[in-house]
């Protein structure tokens, strides 16, 4: 029995030796990151329905295939993105022949965040003027686009930053931790199947497993909470 306890303690110490420095290293790393999420993309009218007696006008001119798009941007890193970091402003480009009718700021976090939308050049473009984004800050933009076709391109050049599309629930760390938990379970299960251990050994293994899965659950819940704060 004590041999099994020793194996479990040694294995737990090995995992702690690997994970603790790794987690501390990740926390200390300075990371610049800007992510965006298409929160909504919906037509003003149902494109499959007939609207013979209804005409949509913009500035007294008829428009068609009008789409409402809501984009959310957030600094998902742990260091500020400064106005001087921008070499090319953030641009939002819709498909060729599309026409951005309206582009407006609908929400900022925090409320005093100053964001300016620039409309110039091609009709299917909009730009965001360089602005300070501290870690965890973000803003939401709303667009009305006529002659809409699928495809939204977000681009820009920011020092040390790659603008990427946010994927809900993504992340390699939770997957790695879950995989490690499964590997440990298989290893110890094989060990226990080859030898006879007391009930106390089973209890110790169960407690260790519950604590590990509890840590993993808290980590994932914390990650999901941050995601909800940034992207809703």
Domain segments of the chain as ranges? 2-29+171-231, 34-165
- C-alpha 53: how far from its chain's center? 43
pLDDT at 185: 60
Do 93 and 159 meet the contact criterion of CB atoms below 8 Å apart? no
pLDDT digits (tens, 9 = 90+) for 135-193: 999 999 999 999 998 889 999 999 988 888 876 655 555 555 556 665 666 565 555 55
Mean pLDDT on 198-222? 63
What phi and psi values does residue 33 have, to the nearest 5 degrees? -155, 135
pLDDT digits (tens, 9 = 90+) for 98-139: 999 999 999 999 999 999 999 988 899 999 999 999 999 999
Q: What is the per-residue DSSP string for the chain?
A: -HHHHHHHHHHHHHHHHHHHHHHHHHHHS----EEEEEEEEEESS-TTS--TT---EETTEE--S-EEEEEEEEE-SSS-B-GGGEEEEEEEEEPTT-EEEEEEEEEEESTT----EE--SSTTEEEE----B-TT-EEEEEEEEES--S-EEEEEEETTB-EEE--TT--HHHHHHHHHHHHHHHHHHHHHHHS---HHHHHHHHHHHHHHHHHHHHHHHHHHHHHHHHH-
Q: Is 34-165 a CATH 2.60.40 domain? A: yes
From CA 16, how far away is CA 1, in angstroms rounded?
23
pLDDT at 73: 95
pLDDT at 223: 67
Check: pTM over 0.75? Answer yes or no.
Answer: no
Pick the more confident residue, 14 or 37: 37
pLDDT at 166: 74
Task: Flag the least confident range among 66-80, 198-212, 215-229.
Answer: 198-212
């Amino acid at each position: 029995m004590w041999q099994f306890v020793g194996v479990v303690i040694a294995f737990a110490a090995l995992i702690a030796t690997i994970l603790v420095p790794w987690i501390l290293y990740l926390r200390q790393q300075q990371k610049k990151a800007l992510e965006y999420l298409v929160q909504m993309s919906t037509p003003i009218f149902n494109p499959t329905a007939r609207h013979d007696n209804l005409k949509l006008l913009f500035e007294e001119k008829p428009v068609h295939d009008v789409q409402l798009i809501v984009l959310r941007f957030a600094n998902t890193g742990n260091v500020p993105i400064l106005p001087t970091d921008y070499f090319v402003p953030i641009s939002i480009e819709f498909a060729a022949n599309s026409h951005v009718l309206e582009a407006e700021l609908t929400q900022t976090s925090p409320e005093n965040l100053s964001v300016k939308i620039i409309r110039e050049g091609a009709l299917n473009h909009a730009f965001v003027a360089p602005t300070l984004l501290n870690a965890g800050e973000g803003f939401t933009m709303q667009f009305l686009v006529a002659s809409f076709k699928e495809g939204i391109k977000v681009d820009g050049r920011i020092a040390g930053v790659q603008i990427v599309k946010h994927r809900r629930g993504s992340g390699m760390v939770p997957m790695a931790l879950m995989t490690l938990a499964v590997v440990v379970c298989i290893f110890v299960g094989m060990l226990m199947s080859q030898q006879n251990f007391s009930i106390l050994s089973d209890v110790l293994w169960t407690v260790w497993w519950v604590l590990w899965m509890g840590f993993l659950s808290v980590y994932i819940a914390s990650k999901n909470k941050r995601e909800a704060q940034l992207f809703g």
